[in-house]
Structure 1
Amino acid sequence: MSLSQPSNSPNHTIPFGWIVGITSLAFVVAQLDVSIVNIALPPIAKTYQASISTLQWVIDAYTLAFAVLMLSAGNLSDLLGAKRIFQLGICIFGIASIGCGFAGSAAVLIGFRVLQGVGAATMIPSSLAILNQAFAHDPAKRVRAIGLWTAAGSAAIAAGPIVGGLLIEISNWRYIFFVNVPLCLAGFLFSFRLIQSKVSVNRGFDIAGQITWMLSITALIAVIIEWPNYGFNHPVIFGGLLFSAVMLITFLLIEKKVKHPMLPLHLFDSPTFNVLLLLGAVLNGAYYGTVFTLSLYLQNVLHYSSLHAGLAFLPLTVGFVISNLLSGRIINRYGIRRPILVGLVMFTLGFAGLFIAKENTPYWQLFLPFLIIPMGMGLAVPAMTTGILASVDKSLSGTASAALNTVRQAAGAIGVAIFGAIGVGGSTAVLHSISVSASITIGSTLAVIALIFKHLKNKK
């Protein structure tokens, strides 16, 4: 069906399904490459004789670049127009995927994973900005669009291990990257149907803020990954932490004084914005870190093949799809507070179920936690995203969506780094990492629930 939008709304002549479909395609390829690589870690390790630390970099090189560049991409989306930035990002992602597939060494693979992260960081805030600007006049339609967009990304991140397992079974791990190419090509060609939104010609670009932010987060995640190799008292580790803290403080001072900040600090005046950012960090840090560990658990402890390990993650796909598709109706009826709270309770119960993971745990005992965790997350994330976008002026929609996704991706990279570091040392260490990740997740989620009760109003 066609949209009925006022003439000042971009994309007002484009059917609803086209706008959601084009933007969701970008989210699908970006999220797919968050999780599809997890299932390929053992064969990648065999190809390059790679250590756990190297495998962590294969994962985190992507999420790290994704995280540190997203704020800049959000600013560019508002500054130059969401359509242009969207098209640039999807081209970069497709080219980088080809490079990953042909990588001749672990170092080259990691390098192209960084470039993939650049493309993803450019696509995601611009795609969400396109949605927010297109449906800003109709909050109910915006909720529905964001729910479908989130459902597509969530299904992709959950389907990644399954798709990866199938591709590895019928060919080899390199095809997990080649599969992105036709999707990127389709997204780029279809994006020409979108109409360029208005740009903020009076806004500048915060180069100093971008550099200090990038250095701070990169140093922090590098320290966490390399901590097991050096030990906390090593000058490289201690110095890295100190450098990260100094750069973060410098970044905040720059953002406070610069005329056109990359991250306007007045956004943090809103308790709703702050609580929802924290929620995004907890959800992604827990999920990304645990999926990394569970991939090692299924293949290195339970000795599943890549295909069987991928199929074992099928409940994650089902759980995400079901809850995301229902979330729009639930948000429109009950507001954002109730679905977030219900989702977090389910998320907590699912992680509590992971304590049963042992050396000989039958799969049927893991099925319920694998289903409940994504169902809870799938209820909470669309409501969280809706709340973030509703809390800011639509002219800052690219920046706000970038802030949310920056926090989420940075937390995801940190989760992989921490839980992966705990899992170094064989089967016993992997099992210990699962129990630690479950304990940390349950405690942090309960803390967020308390904050939601205190600060989050029931907004639609």
Structure 2
Amino acid sequence: MRSEHPSPPVPDAATGTHAGDVGARAAPAPRRRSPGTVLASTSLGTLLVILLTSGLNIASPAIRTTFDAGDTAIGWVLSGYTLAFAMLSLTGGALTDRFGARRVFLAGLGVFCAASLVAAAAPTVALVVVGTFGEGVGAALVLPSALAMIQFVYEDVPGRLSWAIGIWAGANALGAALGPVLCGALVSVSSWRAMFVAVAVLAVVFALIGRPVLPPLRGGAARLDLPGLLLMVVLLGLVAFLAHDWRALPPAVLAAGAVAACAAAWLFGRVERRSPAPMLPPSQLRDVPFSANAVVTVVGTAAFFGTLYLTSMGFQDELGMTPFQAGLALLPLAGGNIVAALAAGRVIGRLGVRGAMILGSVLVAGVLVVIPLLFGHYAALVLPLILLGAGWGLLVPTTSTAGLARAHRGKEGVASGVTAGGRELGAALAAAVLLPLGVRAGVWSAAAVGLVSLAVVVLWVRVHDRPASGTGDRG
């Protein structure tokens, strides 16, 4: 079995790059590890971390009751997970390229388990927030490393990479579907603490399953771009914090935060241009299709998850459902999501990645216009929920595929981190900005956001002509 320790870089005669710089590509997968077992194991880890993204929302009313917590504290319980997930996914991608995808994946599950136990035993709502933030850190390691391993084991299997990413996206969809149902059942039958214990146990089980089957890939030989990593965390943290608390902050604090965010963005660009081994090469950001795909990931996710949060809360507050009933009521959305994700490979084969992304964006934006008009009658919402899930089920694999297709060689982990972090940033922004608006105004606002996402896809997203390397940024 090959070790994960980096080997000395060997120059490639064709490209002038180093084999050690190719992250997850640096060592061949052992023959006895079939692509199917790698796909199954990484999909299980993905399912778990996505499960909590949707499940926390169901548990938040019970947590509020236990601690008699205010809206701000509960907002941080919900957003702490997605904020950490968003802030650190790019870091998780960089660690994947540096240390190897398998090592980062298993470490992420370990962090997720430990943080879940902290939340389960928390005596105060503040420690619940600490626990959910820690779970987000673990999730930020799991998702980009999972996608990087899938891309590695399927890249040389003709026509199968889109199919494999569709299956992985189906795990995303299944996790989003199981989250409200499983968490709602545990909260209704036992307590919200049982929910955190359950996901901790699942993290251990999935790590034990993955350890013997995941390929021990080598990471790259280049050192980590620590200044770039730090500045990106600061930038994303400022953006997410300002979006989360903008209503409660004084204008002077808002202005200072905006200035600080702009300064962090400027410093990040300056540091990356001067770095001999930039985490995110400036030429990658200047690639308009790559950056446009990142925007679609953030904005499309905000439209979808904003609606998911609003409807699940509305089912409980307006229609009088229990947490478990609200979870069951979202199953039509989950069903459409799963079917579309599993069928994404065929849809992409017929329409292309961009065409399938346009179809998904049209479904999401179109359905969101209708939902507020029908919200008082659950039966009338079943078909719109199915179509909404189908649209999202197409957007997840297509944005993931498009991001990897435009990634520089050796930056597959970072590209996966951009996609994963973009989704969680979109979910965090949706919780912060759309949730306070209420069901009808919030979903109509989500529809407007979805139309913006569709416009970006049509105007700027392209998939082909992948850049060969990021060497042009390395002075």
For normalisation by structure 1, the TM-score amounts to 0.90
CA distance in 2, matches of 1:287, 1:80: 33
CA distance in 1, matches of 2:237, 2:118: 22
- 1:206-225 to structure 2, matched below 5 A, reads 206-225=225-244
Gaps of 5+ in 1: 1-5, 424-428
CA distance in 1, matches of 2:27, 2:276: 28
The partner residue of 1:236 within 253, 260, 278 is: 253
The partner residue of 2:136 within 84, 100, 117 is: 117
Report what 2:3 is aligned to.
none
CA distance in 1, matches of 2:147, 2:291: 19
The partner residue of 1:456 within 462, 465, 471 is: 462
- 1:153-164 to structure 2, matched below 5 A, reads 153-164=172-183
Report what 1:369 is aligned to.
384
CA distance in 2, matches of 1:362, 1:430: 13
The partner residue of 2:90 within 71, 74, 79 is: 71
- Cα contact 1:26–1:123 (8 A) shared by 2: yes
Aligned residues, how many? Answer: 441
Query: Could you tell me which amino acid in structure 2 is paired with residue 51 of structure 1?
Result: G
**177-186 or 37-46, which moves further after superposition?**
177-186
The partner residue of 1:54 within 73, 77, 80 is: 73
Query: Could you tell me which amino acid in structure 2 is paired with residue 176 of structure 1?
Result: M
- 1:10-89 to structure 2, matched below 5 A, reads 10-89=29-108
CA distance in 2, matches of 1:334, 1:414: 31
Report what 2:215 is aligned to.
195
Matched, 1:416 2:431: yes
Q: 1:302-358: per-residue Cα shift (whole Å, max 9, x none)?
A: 222112111111112101111011111222344212211211111112111222155
- Cα contact 2:292–2:457 (8 A) shared by 1: no
CA drift of 1:199 comes to: 2.1
Q: 1:106 to 1:273 in 2, by over 3 A?
A: same
The partner residue of 1:147 within 157, 162, 166 is: 166
Report what 1:176 is aligned to.
195
Query: Could you tell me which amino acid in structure 2 is paired with residue 413 of structure 1?
Result: A
CA distance in 1, matches of 2:40, 2:325: 31
- Cα contact 1:263–1:403 (8 A) shared by 2: no
CA distance in 1, matches of 2:409, 2:177: 30
- Cα contact 2:306–2:442 (8 A) shared by 1: no
**Percent of residue pairs identical:** 28
CA distance in 1, matches of 2:57, 2:87: 21
CA distance in 1, matches of 2:231, 2:178: 35
CA distance in 1, matches of 2:205, 2:296: 33
CA distance in 2, matches of 1:443, 1:113: 31
For normalisation by structure 2, the TM-score amounts to 0.88
Report what 1:391 is aligned to.
406
Q: 1:142-197: per-residue Cα shift (whole Å, max 9, x none)?
A: 22211111110122113311222211221112222222123211221122222211
The partner residue of 1:227 within 237, 246, 269 is: 246
Query: Could you tell me which amino acid in structure 1 is paired with residue 324 of structure 2?
Result: L
CA distance in 1, matches of 2:411, 2:48: 25
Q: 1:192-216: per-residue Cα shift (whole Å, max 9, x none)?
A: 2222113211x12121112222222
CA distance in 2, matches of 1:69, 1:182: 23
Query: Could you tell me which amino acid in structure 2 is paired with residue 15 of structure 1?
Result: S
Q: 1:85-137: per-residue Cα shift (whole Å, max 9, x none)?
A: 11111111111111111211110000011111110111111111111111221
CA distance in 2, matches of 1:144, 1:431: 36
CA drift of 1:67 comes to: 1.4
CA distance in 1, matches of 2:306, 2:211: 37
- Cα contact 1:92–1:116 (8 A) shared by 2: yes
Matched, 1:249 2:270: no
Query: Could you tell me which amino acid in structure 2 is paired with residue 163 of structure 1?
Result: L
Query: Could you tell me which amino acid in structure 1 is paired with residue 444 of structure 2?
Result: S
CA distance in 2, matches of 1:166, 1:9: 43
Gaps of 5+ in 2: 1-24, 467-475
CA distance in 1, matches of 2:406, 2:340: 23
Query: Could you tell me which amino acid in structure 1 is paired with residue 441 of structure 2?
Result: H
The partner residue of 2:442 within 417, 433, 436 is: 433
- Cα contact 1:79–1:199 (8 A) shared by 2: yes
CA distance in 1, matches of 2:258, 2:70: 23
> Which runs of at least 4 in structure 1 moved beyond 6 Å after TM superposition?
none
Report what 1:308 is aligned to.
325
